[in-house]
Amino acid sequence: MNEQIAVVIGATGLTGNFVVEELLKDEAFKTVRVLARKKVNKVHPKLQQEIVNFNDPNDYSDKFGEGDVIFCCIGTTQKKVKGDKLLYEKIDYDIPVNAATIGITKGFKKFLIISAIGANENSSNFYLKLKGRTEDALKQFPFLSLDIFQPSIINGNRKENRPVEKIAQVFMDLFSFLFLGPLKKYRAIGANNIARAIVQVLDHPILSASLPGEMVEEYTDPELMYENFNKLVDVVADGGIGGTVPSTVIDCTGEEPVLIRQGAGEWEMAGSE
């Protein structure tokens, strides 16, 4: 599984920069394509940089290219947009949703995005409402998987000055021990740890007897399954054309095999009476 192509949006930001670093080290990816308004200060044989006008749909689509996984780390602040809520929405909503639209047409299978804890389209807070709207919009796309990460305050050395956020980071560092149980999720987290967690999500292969598809043949014909999922699963076993009756599932990870689900295939443990 070392032929995948990743597209990263928001690589010039704190967390996006770490995501690129992790992907460049990951042997599962042969190409890491960064889409940004300016180049990142990195040189690597796997790195491909594209300068994009995100407001131009044609340029966005052309530079996007084909691939397998989309990593969206885009995000702005009220200070950067000078209080312009429409501009804020163009960045935090339009760019991710347009990426999903393009990604589906280009054959991408997975989408991962950094959102925010408390994101909810019904929130009275503009930021959390916007993040919630973005999450809900992305859930409508037929990706094989959609992973949404909702960190609290993100620690790290940013290029721009964010005094309020720095004060919050100091507070979180001093009193993080008080955030226990259900409050633990509100602890500050390092951007490098977020990036590592995002990339590690992809280390869990898909294991399914019923892969998704619009037509029956897409999840019963081994050749079509291989064509559609060969970069996303470790093994496609050709057992001939299947039907819609659930298959038998056996857990072989322990000392003795365990029948998880009895389906069309008859199973009898060797040596059993």
Q: Domain 4-201: give its CATH code.
A: 3.40.50.720
Query: Per-residue confidence at 273, pLDDT binned at 50, 70, 90?
Result: very low
Q: What is the pLDDT of residue 232?
A: 60
**Mean pLDDT for the stretch of residues 213-241:** 62
On the question of pLDDT at 208 being above 70, the answer is no
| Per-residue model confidence as pLDDT tens digits over 107-148 | 999 999 988 888 899 999 998 999 999 999 999 999 988 988
pLDDT higher for 68 or 118? Answer: 68
Distance, in Å, from the CA atom of 186 to the CA atom of 169, rounded to the nearest integer, reads: 12
pTM of the predicted model as reported, rounded to 2 decimal places: 0.64
Query: Per-residue confidence at 42, pLDDT binned at 50, 70, 90?
Result: confident
| Per-residue model confidence as pLDDT tens digits over 70-82 | 999 998 888 888 8
On the question of pLDDT at 32 being above 90, the answer is yes
Please state the domain extents for the chain.
4-201, 208-242, 244-273
3-state secondary structure the chain: CCCEEEEEECCCCHHHHHHHHHHHHCCCEEEEEEEECCCCCCCCCCEEEEECCCCCHHHHHHHHCCCCEEEECCCCCHHHHCCCHHHHHHHHHHHHHHHHHHHHHHCCCEEEEECCCCCCCCCCCHHHHHHHHHHHHHCCCCCCEEEEECCCCEECCCCCCCHHHHHHHHHHHHHHHHCCHHHHHHCCEEHHHHHHHHHHHCCCCCCCCCCCCCCHHHHCCHHHHHHHHCCCCCCCCCCCCCCCCCCCEEECCCCCCEEEECCCCCCCCCCCC
pLDDT higher for 163 or 259? Answer: 259
On the question of pLDDT at 162 being above 90, the answer is no
Distance, in Å, from the CA atom of 188 to the CA atom of 172, rounded to the nearest integer, reads: 6
**Which range, 45-59, 140-154, 237-251, is most confident?**
45-59
